[in-house]
Amino acid sequence: MISDLLTEAEHKMEQATDHVASEFSTVRTGRANPQLLQRITVEYYGSPTPLQQLASISVPEPRLLVVQPFDKSTVGDIERALQTSELSLNPTNDGNVIRIAFPPLTEERRKDLIKVVKNMAEEGRVAVRNIRRHSKADMEAMHGEISDDDIRRGEDELQKLTDLYVEQIDRLLGHKEAELLEV
């Protein structure tokens, strides 16, 4: 029973870590990354549609993204969605494709983005700790069914898992900070 709880907790912690990694990928660094546009939705025939379903996204140069719509009539809608996004992008449209140039980040903007990334990492750590807390409560609820020694061993294993996943989040944070500070 304890092993089932540990397996479930590990799975949830892994999902939390993966979520943090995907959140990090949406933070703009000095170079172009197609994942930045992952959350962009375009108003297409009255319904919000993910950009990936309407266009292909490529990176021909390190500081340039090219968005090639499948349907040329959507170029204006896609450009509007990019301009109104919280990413502060300035797309240019030549009628066929949309180009997004990424200027180098200023030192102040880098520091702001590092703060954002640190907050994302802290949210991930909190999620992992909440998973530990819930799993520990489930273990303690089995108090009459299994021995105290088994519960204590399970809690020790749970703490090791928690430390492992918090360390993974910290490693991801370190990589993202280094990427943001890279000039």
Q: What pLDDT is attached to residue 19?
A: 93
* Whether residue 127 sits in one domain with residue 97: no
Q: Which of 101, 124, 146 is the last residue of a domain?
A: 101
| pTM for this entry | 0.71
DSSP characters over 52-82: HHHEEEEEEETTEEEEEESSGGGHHHHHHHH
pLDDT at 11 over 90: yes
State the chain's mean pLDDT as an integer: 88
Residue 33: pLDDT above 80? Answer: no
Look up residue 96 and give its DSSP letter.
S
How much of the chain is helix, strand and coil, in % rounded to 5?
60, 15, 20
Q: Are residues 131 and 177 in the same domain?
A: yes
Is residue 41 located within the same domain as residue 83?
A: yes
C-alpha span between 60 and 111 (Å, rounded) = 28
Dump pLDDT digits (tens) for 130-182.
999 999 999 888 888 888 888 899 999 999 999 999 999 999 999 999 888 87
Domain hosting 170: range is 2-26+106-181
Q: Within this chain, do residues 125 and 76 fall inside the same structural domain, yes or no?
A: no
| Domain identity same for 61 and 7 | no
Q: What percent of the chain has pLDDT over 90?
A: 35
Residues 92 and 153 in one domain: no
Strand order in the sheet with 64-69: 55-61, 64-69, 98-101, 91-93
Number of domains in the chain: 2
**Gap between the Cα atoms of 15 and 130, Å rounded:** 13
